[in-house]
Amino acid sequence: MSIYLAEMFPTPLRFLSSFLLYISFVMVLERIHGVKVTIYSSYTLVGTLSIFFLMLILRLMDELKDREIDLELFSGRPLPSGRVLESDIRLGLVVVGALYLAANILVAQVFLVALCVLGYALLMFKYFFIPRILRRYLLLNLLTHNPIVPILLFYVLILFSVAHGLSLRDLNWSFSFLLISMYWAMFFAWEVARKIRSQEEESAYVTYSQIFGPLCAVLVAGGAQTIAFAIGIYFFYSLSLSGVFLAILLVGYGITMWGHARFIINPNPVTSKLKLFAERYIVSVLVAQIVGNFA
């Protein structure tokens, strides 16, 4: 598993990204609800660990779900190459699942919600018991699997309410759902961007550029990122965020759109690395949220 984590799920980087995701999301919620910012607390640890463990659970599940495709198209990866055994992955799933549940036992009020999140992940693992259909249709697979993002963010919202002693009635649901939509749009764009290829790169691996064509696939990803950007601008004005927030948001969005334009103008194996731009855009928004609320 040390081999697997080093190559497929670098622990320090993933834990940092989980922390940034949790902190940035909660800091905006605190701004929305006018409560004190509390970064260093047991709730931060529980939230960060829950996001980290769930991301690892989803990654391990994907290894088992995609083992036949990986064996054919990505034979150098740890599992298909034989450097990691399937039994290692299955044992890892059990251990990480137990750690995820153990972390949430510490906050009993959110344990049921955490259990529901894990239950949805298990449905994804089973392809919602219609594997023949979902494996054949990438778009349907996206529609059934991508909602794990807002479901996880809803868990964070409930954890936030418990941390600050707010009832469900006390929550500003319109702003909270807008915030969830902003983050969901970014991760939706990442999911699309990571499966966009230039014509010479296309293979038996099904991509969105095969389904929509390269231009339309880029427009879908860029459109989702634009929605996130527009919500960010709305938060800038409505929550009176600092100019630093706006500057980081503008730079992140501008660089991302430049990456899309570069690929559209000259699609090739170099310009098709849109996943990196999508990841950097997410990081820029998370950092903007944190810095913008501190400044």
CA distances from 281 to 31, 229, 258 (A): 22, 10, 12
State how far the Cα of 267 lies from the Cα of 248, in Å rounded to an integer: 28
Kindly report the CATH number assigned to the domain that includes residue 287. Answer: 1.20.120
Q: Examine the domain organization and report whether 70 and 165 are in the same domain.
A: yes
Query: Is residue 295 predicted with pLDDT exceeding 70?
Result: no
Is the same domain home to 163 and 186?
A: no
Q: How confident is the model at residue 39 (pLDDT cuts 50, 70, 90)?
A: confident
Give yes or no: residues 146 and 184 share one domain: no
CB-CB contact of 267 with 221 (8 Å): no
In which region does residue 240 sit, left (phi positive, over 0), alpha (psi from -120 to 50) or beta (all else)? left
Kindly report the length of the chain. Answer: 295
Among residues 170, 196, 226, the one where a domain terminates is: 170
Whether residue 270 is found in the same domain as residue 183: yes
Residues 1 and 96 in one domain: yes
Tally of domains within the chain: 2
* Spatial separation of the C-alpha atoms in residues 228 and 249, rounded to whole Å: 10
One domain, residues 128 and 10: yes
Are 131 and 87 members of one domain? yes
Domain that holds residue 267: 172-295
Tokens of 46: 């529980």
Please check whether residues 160 and 197 belong to one and the same domain: no
* Residues 119-177 pLDDT 10s: 999 999 999 988 888 888 888 999 999 999 999 999 999 999 999 999 999 999 999 99
Burial of 221 by CB count in 10 Å (0-12 exposed, 13-18 middle, 19+ buried)?
buried
Q: Which of 182, 56, 191 is nearest to 121 (CA)?
A: 56
pLDDT tens figures, 84-132: 999 999 999 999 999 999 999 989 899 999 999 999 999 999 999 888 8
Instruction: Decide: pTM greater than 0.85.
Output: yes
| One domain, residues 197 and 285 | yes
